């Protein structure tokens, strides 16, 4: 399966991962064949991309990527965060205390990550634009826990990190939605208002010192470029830095109202460039080694000239996947695809193919198959 922008969907494609709303309501089940009507509806609901089975990839038996967090737990978490934040906004709450059920969800996420130490993070959530904050909170929580587990935090510390990560953006309930969802560039005044979400969160989370510190400092950067206080190295606790790293990665890899999602390899490159300046480099590395730069299903070209699809990524080598090659160096279709470990063969990926190139290759391959029948 692979993630395809809604604008590139065509009738006949099959949904590979169910499309759900903020309360776990299923809009499209796995296996549903897309029609023009469904594609239009996805756009109206604010989805920018979905996971589909590709006829071409289906023939190559590309394995399904597995989420590090179970679907049920993820849906539960999104739904509970949504309820909590909507109720707090409506009642103009002075304090937010995560309820027992949410604490249980964080414990479940900690357990699932600790039980799966060998899994590379290889699945990126999709979400409707108007549900962004809730999905973002849950993703940042999962990503932060992966870093926390990698650096050996205790179960208790992971739990506290998880709660803080889940609550890191609660201050946004006090920032006008039209600013948060503004499609264009923010004015200086608007940006000042957005920056305040950190201070609002500190206030709202006053009953939980760790969560308040994480939420208040997740936009601070080691070189003093962050906000709200421009703190420097030594003043920003590791847990807040971890959430800052997770926050940047999830924001970059999400489709936003003002830009398309960056690919994971692009987001990882940006994070690596920020390592040492914005964040402790060891924390950035702890994250990067756990994330597949080229998720399963990504079509890539190797420096050998071969073209194929990523089928897995070994733990610890995020940019060195195993690629199922189906276009030879001379551009010819290989009837029998073969797997190449870029790590073992000392090869590297030169580029990721875009939708236009993929559809061009598909036509070529289908043509060559028909001519051999």
**Residues engaged in binding Fe ion (CB under 5 A):** 169
- Residues across the chain: 373
The nearer residue to Fe ion, 3 or 219, going by C-beta atoms, is 219
The nearer residue to Fe ion, 175 or 322, going by C-beta atoms, is 175
Tell me how many degrees the CA angle 124-128-133 measures, rounded to the nearest 5: 80
Give min distance, CB of 206 to Fe ion, in A. Answer: 18
Give min distance, CB of 105 to Fe ion, in A. Answer: 20
The nearer residue to Fe ion, 75 or 197, going by C-beta atoms, is 197
Tell me how many degrees the CA angle 72-309-4 measures, rounded to the nearest 5: 55
Question: In angstroms, rounded to a whole number, what is the distance separating the alpha carbons of residues 226 and 277?
Answer: 11
The nearer residue to Fe ion, 198 or 280, going by C-beta atoms, is 198
Give min distance, CB of 319 to Fe ion, in A. Answer: 28
The nearer residue to Fe ion, 80 or 168, going by C-beta atoms, is 168
Question: In angstroms, rounded to a whole number, what is the distance separating the alpha carbons of residues 23 and 141?
Answer: 18
Using Cβ positions, the residue closest to Fe ion within the complex turns out to be 169
Give min distance, CB of 180 to Fe ion, in A. Answer: 10
The nearer residue to Fe ion, 169 or 255, going by C-beta atoms, is 169
The nearer residue to Fe ion, 164 or 318, going by C-beta atoms, is 164
Question: In angstroms, rounded to a whole number, what is the distance separating the alpha carbons of residues 56 and 43?
Answer: 24
Quick one: the chain helix, strand, coil %, rounded to 5? 45, 15, 40
Give min distance, CB of 69 to Fe ion, in A. Answer: 21
Q: What is the DSSP letter of 2?
A: E
The nearer residue to Fe ion, 169 or 265, going by C-beta atoms, is 169
The helix/strand/coil state of 52 is strand
Taking the CA atoms of 218, 224, 226 and 229 in sequence, report the sign of the dihedral they define. Answer: positive
In angstroms, how far apart are the furthest CA atoms of the chain? 70
Q: Which residues contact 145 (CB under 8 A, 6 or more apart)?
A: 109, 110, 113, 158, 161, 162, 165
Q: Which residues contact 191 (CB under 8 A, 6 or more apart)?
A: none
Give min distance, CB of 147 to Fe ion, in A. Answer: 17
Contact predicate 340/347, CB 8 Å? yes
Q: Which two tokens stand for residue 169?
A: 């953006």
Question: In angstroms, rounded to a whole number, what is the distance separating the alpha carbons of residues 336 and 322?
Answer: 16
Give min distance, CB of 177 to Fe ion, in A. Answer: 15
Contact predicate 321/313, CB 8 Å? yes
Give min distance, CB of 167 to Fe ion, in A. Answer: 11
Question: In angstroms, rounded to a whole number, what is the distance separating the alpha carbons of residues 321 and 352?
Answer: 13
Give min distance, CB of 274 to Fe ion, in A. Answer: 16
The nearer residue to Fe ion, 169 or 202, going by C-beta atoms, is 169
């Amino acid at each position: 399966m692979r993630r395809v922008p809604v604008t590139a969907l065509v009738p006949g494609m099959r949904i590979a991962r169910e499309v759900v709303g903020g309360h776990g309501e299923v809009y499209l089940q796995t296996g549903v064949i897309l029609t023009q009507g469904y594609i239009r509806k996805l756009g109206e609901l604010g989805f920018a991309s979905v996971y589909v089975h590709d006829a071409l990839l289906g023939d190559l038996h590309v394995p399904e990527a597995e989420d590090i967090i179970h679907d049920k737990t993820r849906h539960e978490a999104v739904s509970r965060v949504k309820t909590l934040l909507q109720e707090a906004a409506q009642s103009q709450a002075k304090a937010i205390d995560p309820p027992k059920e949410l604490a249980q969800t964080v414990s479940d996420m900690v357990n699932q990550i600790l039980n799966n130490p060998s899994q590379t993070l290889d699945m990126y959530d999709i979400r409707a634009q108007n549900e962004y904050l809730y999905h973002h909170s849950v993703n940042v929580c999962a990503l932060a826990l992966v870093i926390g587990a990698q650096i050996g935090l205790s179960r208790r510390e992971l739990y506290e990190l998880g709660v803080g990560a889940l609550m890191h953006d609660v201050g946004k309930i006090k920032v006008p939605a039209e600013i948060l969802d503004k499609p264009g560039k923010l004015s200086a005044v608007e940006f000042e208002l957005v920056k305040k979400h950190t201070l609002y969160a500190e206030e709202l989370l006053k009953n939980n010192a760790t969560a308040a510190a994480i939420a208040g400092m997740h936009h601070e950067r080691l070189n003093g470029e962050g906000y709200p206080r421009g703190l420097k190295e030594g003043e920003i606790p590791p847990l807040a830095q971890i959430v800052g790293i997770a926050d940047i990665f999830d924001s970059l890899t999400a489709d936003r109202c003002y830009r398309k999602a960056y690919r994971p390899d692009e987001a990882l490159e940006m994070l690596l460039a920020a390592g040492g300046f914005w964040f402790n480099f060891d924390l950035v590395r702890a994250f990067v080694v756990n994330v597949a730069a080229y998720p399963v299903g990504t079509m890539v070209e190797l420096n050998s000239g071969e073209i194929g699809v990523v089928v897995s990524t070994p733990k610890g080598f995020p940019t060195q996947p195993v690629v199922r090659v189906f276009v030879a160096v001379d551009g010819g279709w290989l009837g029998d695809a073969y797997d190449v470990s870029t790590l073992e063969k000392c090869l590297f990926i030169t580029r990721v193919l875009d939708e236009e190139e993929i559809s061009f290759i598909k036509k070529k391959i289908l043509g060559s198959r028909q001519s051999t029948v």
